[in-house]
């Protein structure tokens, strides 16, 4: 049976293990003995084979060229291959699911903006045009409309997971605060987006929403005037909501999601509360100290499964 040649996975795309290299002389081949492959003379390759090998290397070379200038592989390896605590489960995907819902909203929103007219007299007709005439318009509009509800539901589930797993505690309080701001911004998106179709439902819902804003003492009446751009809901209210909906708040959300995810990678995730701490397998001085300090060694999830405690893989970007 002829052997089918399997292309070897190039070393450049395999991430290095998250471990310090062995010190020189600590292991490896004994001195004074040449490695096996240097003893035999290399086979001469034909011209075609050489070209083929070059071709195989080309994408790797291109990647290497970029990486030499970007120095991103270290960051990406640290981020994508970071250690997670024992007990990590499907509940931990709710944050990524919320992010995905946001990406869906951003992409469909950009394409809806190609057909939508933020004018009080034309907004309703432009939405009707999207739904009735534009190919796949109803689908894209529907994805945006229902996706907004999905995002709000997911953000609350994600918040509930964080709360019930105690993942908001030290040192992750700041990430909780950023998450709360993101929740408020998401509700702002839902509120401002509701007016844009400018039908009866969105018109009256926005009036009620603005009036609820107005019931705040002292600043409430001025906040209402700011939202409406005047004493009554008028022509500029719609363009104001549109600008807030597609320019102001999305920019803030993207920036805060960046900060949110940076802290997630930097601090690592927590183990679920039902995972009990194990005694560290390696009696390193720091591990003993930490286990003594917090009683259960569960504050930093990386220690629970006896992972290295010398800082490796613990948010080492």
| Residue numbers at the binding site for other proteins (CB under 8 A) | 120-121, 198, 203-204, 207-208, 210-212, 214-215, 217-218, 220-222, 224-226, 228-236, 238
> 158 with 90: CB under 8 angstroms?
no
Please, which residue, 108 or 202, has the CB nearer to other proteins?
Answer: 202
- Judged by beta carbon, residue 174 or residue 243, the one nearer other proteins is 243
Distance of closest approach, residue 229 Cβ to other proteins, in angstroms: 4
Residue 297 and residue 280 in contact, taking contact as beta carbons nearer than 8 Å: yes
With respect to other proteins, which residue has the nearer C-beta, 285 or 292? 285
From the CB of 170, what's the least distance to other proteins, in Å? 22
Shortest distance (Å) from residue 127 CB to other proteins: 14
b (16+ CB within 10 A) / e for 277-288 = beebeeeeeebe
Query: Is the CB of 228 or the CB of 303 nearer to other proteins?
Result: 228
In sequence order, the 6+-apart residues with CB closer than 8 A to the CB of 190 are 148, 152
State the nearest-atom distance from the C-beta of 279 to other proteins, in Å.
25
Q: Which two tokens stand for residue 237?
A: 């209210």
Query: Minimum Å distance from CB 146 to other proteins?
Result: 25
Question: CB of residue 228 vs other proteins: minimum separation in angstroms?
Answer: 8
CB 270 within 8 A of CB 167: yes
Judged by phi (left if over 0) then psi (alpha if -120 to 50, else beta), residue 297 lies in left
Residue closer to other proteins by CB (options 155, 246) is 246
Q: How far is the CB of 233 from other proteins (least distance, A)?
A: 7
The encoded tokens of residue 249 equal 């708040």
Q: Which is nearer to other proteins, 177 or 208 (CB)?
A: 208
CB nearer other proteins, residue 230 or residue 315: 230
Instruction: Give 140 or 287: the residue with its C-beta nearer to other proteins.
Output: 287
CB of 123 to other proteins, least distance (A): 10
Minimum CB distance to other proteins smaller for 190 or for 205: 205
Minimum Å gap between C-beta 99 and other proteins is 29
């Amino acid at each position: 049976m002829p052997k089918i040649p399997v292309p070897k996975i190039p070393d450049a795309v395999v991430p290095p293990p998250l471990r310090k290299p062995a010190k020189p002389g600590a292991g490896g081949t004994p001195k004074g003995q040449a490695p096996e492959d240097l003893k035999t003379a290399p086979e001469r390759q034909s011209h075609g084979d050489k070209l083929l090998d070059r071709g195989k290397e080309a994408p790797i070379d291109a990647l290497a060229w970029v990486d030499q200038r970007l120095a991103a592989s270290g960051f990406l390896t640290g981020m994508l291959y970071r250690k997670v605590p024992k007990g990590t489960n499907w509940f931990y995907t709710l944050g990524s699911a919320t992010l995905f819902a946001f990406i869906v909203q951003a992409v469909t929103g950009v394409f809806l903006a190609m057909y939508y007219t933020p004018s009080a007299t034309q907004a309703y007709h432009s939405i009707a045009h999207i739904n009735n005439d534009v190919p796949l318009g109803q689908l894209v509009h529907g994805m945006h409309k229902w996706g907004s509800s999905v995002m709000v539901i997911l953000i609350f589930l994600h918040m509930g997971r964080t709360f019930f797993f105690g993942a908001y505690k030290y040192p992750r309080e700041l990430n909780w605060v950023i998450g709360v701001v993101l929740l408020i911004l998401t509700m702002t998106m839902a509120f401002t987006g509701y007016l844009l179709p400018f039908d009866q439902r969105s018109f009256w819902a926005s009036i009620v929403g603005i009036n609820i804003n107005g019931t705040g003492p002292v600043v409430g009446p001025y906040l209402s005037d700011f939202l409406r751009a005047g004493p009554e809901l008028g022509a500029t209210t719609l363009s104001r909501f549109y600008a807030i909906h597609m320019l102001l708040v999305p920019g803030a959300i993207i920036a805060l999601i960046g900060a949110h995810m940076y802290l997630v990678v930097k601090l690592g995730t927590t183990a679920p509360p039902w995972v009990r701490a194990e005694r560290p397998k390696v009696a390193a001085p720091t591990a003993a100290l930490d286990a003594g300090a917090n009683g259960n060694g569960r504050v930093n999830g990386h220690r629970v499964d006896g992972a290295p405690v010398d800082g490796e893989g613990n948010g080492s970007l």
